[in-house]
Amino acid sequence: MALVDESRKLGISVTMDETPQGVRAATTSALLLGCITLLLSLHLCRWLRQWSVPGVPGPFPWPVIGNASQLGKAPHLSLTRMAQKYGNVFQIKLGCRSVVVLNGDSIKSALIKQGKEFAGRPNFTSFQFVGNGNSLAFNTVTDWWKLHRRATQSTVRMFSTGNPQTKKTFEHHVLCEVKQLLQLFLLKTKEQGYFHPMTLLVVSTANIMSAVCFGKRYSYDDEEFRQVVGRNDQFTETVGAGSIVDVMPWLQYFPNPVKTMFDNFKSLNRDFSQFIGEKVFEHRKTIQSSVIRDITDSLILALDHLRDKTGVSEEKDIVTSTVGDIFGASQDTLSTAQQWIMLILVKYPELQTRLQQGVAKVVARSQLPSFSPQPQLPYVMAFIYEVFRFTSFIPLTIPHSTTADTTLMGYAIPKDTVIFINQWSTNHNPSIWHHPDVFDPERFLDQQGALNKDMTSSVLIFSQGKRRCVGEDLSKLQLFLFTALLSHQCHITANPAVPPKLDYNYGLTLKPHTFFIAVTPRGETSLLDREVSSPDHNEETTSDSQTKVDTETNEGRHF
């Protein structure tokens, strides 16, 4: 009553039936409400138990979204903060999926000591659209997958770092492209002053890999090529660890921004597969088993042979998806690495001077750098390792999953648990790195100025174990030559009106925000105009990497 009177005074309209029937009805409603609340709580408890990993610590997950909102715009940083609170192995819930996050020492224990158990991939929605569901990188481990990965790994090696001859051919591709890229940088500066180098870097790296994969390069104005390689950001946003559509797949079924992003992702994967599929089709028409022109030829022979031996379905176009894996993984990662290198060079001009002086001491002005002076240029490699460590531009690997029930650091982890590997946490661990938030290439040099192998092997950017990147050696060589050529031939500056910042967008790769630079020559640039002589004296085409291959072992020999 008092409540009713008080409410009337306050002008709030409250009606209450005070008859015995009314009181009974109110009691029944209260009971009903109590029962519903109890049932919901029981259901919620069961839901939490069902989806969580018993005994593994972690923050409280909210219904429906779990801990998704706690990841913020930089999930690797939020996860590293959580590791400080809950330990190197902890769990979060993303939508209805429980995820165990590995940081610091636990990464090596899982990926090296228990490599088999931690090598799986989760059945995420987005993964099923990469390479029409046949991707090597986004599929889980099976007996077929192991053969498939071995063939892919040896093919990549055979066309890049496998032996002195293949290395020479790969060097030729990199030299030709980077020379052209530097000329374009100089031209852009002349025409526009300051410019954003991203598109040029993407086309240049895609061209190097196109030469290696298809024996063909494209013009920088080729619209079709730019369309195919210019959508890396949309790809990496969707497959990065913590991608919303993977943990809340129901969002793809009604109009909302996540559905729009996912529709774009599906369409770019379709276009990409079609582009690669056409190249594979053309290669199949002209292939000769005695002369392997490029990676596509090599994979056609190796994978067709494996398919015949193992009886894998003819309907799966494994060659297209595998060439797509190599071409896609390389041009996105390498062009992102090159963007970071350029941004850091303008952010820390004193390091740029040190690099220029170091390269000038070893490579005369009458020559261009090549792969050979790499051992005499430890500072260049130290700089590249520090870019890897400091930016950790692949902060979390592609998500893993467990292939069997297992234990890690005393915690039981069931089969099919989603695993996030936080590479950033290792690269910024203060117990390994002195002042981890300071950019300092010197940390990789010993007292004699040589590269300190203990320190370089502590950087985690290519992952470890059974899923370790297949392009690691190729990437380090390519980035070495890019950095050495850039420092030898050019000087880069930032627009003084817009001081460079190291901000980025999160995804599988961290992409720096748009930045503007000017590139000027360091003296005479005639060497950039001169043709690079082909290792096989074949100037007309890029198919100078012709190789004789034993399709049983996939071992190549150049001639």
Residues that bind ligand HEM (CB under 6 A): 136-137, 149, 156, 325-326, 329-330, 333-334, 337, 394, 397-398, 461-463, 467, 469-471, 474-475
For ligand HEM, give the closer residue by CB, 195 or 390. Answer: 390
- Taking the complex as a whole, the smallest distance from the CB of residue 340 to ligand HEM amounts, in Å, to 10
Which CA distances in Å does 464 have to 216, 386, 458, 460, 472? 32, 18, 11, 8, 11
Which CA distances in Å does 277 have to 71, 202, 401? 37, 21, 29
- Taking the complex as a whole, the smallest distance from the CB of residue 152 to ligand HEM amounts, in Å, to 6
- Taking the complex as a whole, the smallest distance from the CB of residue 309 to ligand HEM amounts, in Å, to 21
Instruction: Give the length of the chain.
Output: 559
- The residues that bridge with 445 in the sheet, in sequence order, are 451
For ligand HEM, give the closer residue by CB, 300 or 334. Answer: 334
Distance CA 546, CA 396 (A): 37
Our measurement of the distance from residue 238's CA atom to the centroid of its chain's CA atoms, rounded to an integer in Å, reads 11
- Taking the complex as a whole, the smallest distance from the CB of residue 477 to ligand HEM amounts, in Å, to 10
| Six-digit token string for 287 | 């292939």
For ligand HEM, give the closer residue by CB, 92 or 474. Answer: 474
For ligand HEM, give the closer residue by CB, 110 or 355. Answer: 110
Residue 367 CB coordination number (10 Å): 11
- Taking the complex as a whole, the smallest distance from the CB of residue 153 to ligand HEM amounts, in Å, to 8
Pair 299, 440: CB distance under 8 Å? no
- Taking the complex as a whole, the smallest distance from the CB of residue 473 to ligand HEM amounts, in Å, to 9
Distance CA 353, CA 387 (A): 16
Q: Who contacts 374 (Cβ-Cβ below 8 Å, separation ≥6)?
A: 380, 381, 477, 480
For ligand HEM, give the closer residue by CB, 149 or 389. Answer: 149
Pair 150, 308: CB distance under 8 Å? no
| Six-digit token string for 16 | 């209450």
- Taking the complex as a whole, the smallest distance from the CB of residue 514 to ligand HEM amounts, in Å, to 21
Give per-residue burial for 371-386: e unless 16+ CB within 10 Å, then b: beebeebbbbbbbbbb
For ligand HEM, give the closer residue by CB, 158 or 346. Answer: 158
- The residues that bridge with 101 in the sheet, in sequence order, are 90, 420
For tokens 């894998």, name the residue: 312
Q: Who contacts 556 (Cβ-Cβ below 8 Å, separation ≥6)?
A: 158, 159, 162, 166, 292, 298, 547, 548, 549
For ligand HEM, give the closer residue by CB, 70 or 423. Answer: 423
- Taking the complex as a whole, the smallest distance from the CB of residue 268 to ligand HEM amounts, in Å, to 18
509 φ/ψ angles, rounded to the nearest 5 degrees? -110, 140
For ligand HEM, give the closer residue by CB, 181 or 186. Answer: 181
| Six-digit token string for 438 | 């300071």
- Taking the complex as a whole, the smallest distance from the CB of residue 334 to ligand HEM amounts, in Å, to 5
For ligand HEM, give the closer residue by CB, 71 or 394. Answer: 394
| Six-digit token string for 448 | 């004699």
**Is 469 marked within a binding site?**
yes
- 3-state DSSP call for residue 511? strand
- Burial class of residue 328 in the structure, from the number of CB atoms within 10 Å of its CB (0-12 exposed, 13-18 middle, 19+ buried): buried
- 3-state DSSP call for residue 530? coil
Q: Containing H/E element for 558?
A: strand 555-558
Distance CA 332, CA 43 (A): 44
Q: Which residue is nearest to ligand HEM (CB)?
A: 471
- Taking the complex as a whole, the smallest distance from the CB of residue 302 to ligand HEM amounts, in Å, to 14
- Taking the complex as a whole, the smallest distance from the CB of residue 181 to ligand HEM amounts, in Å, to 17
For ligand HEM, give the closer residue by CB, 397 or 403. Answer: 397
65 φ/ψ angles, rounded to the nearest 5 degrees? -95, -15
The full 3-state SS of 348-405, as one line of letters, equals: CHHHHHHHHHHHHHHCCCCCCCCCCCHHHCHHHHHHHHHHHHHHCCCCECCCEECCCC
For ligand HEM, give the closer residue by CB, 195 or 480. Answer: 480
Q: Which residues are annotated binding-site positions for heme?
A: 469
Q: Which residues are annotated binding-site positions?
A: 469
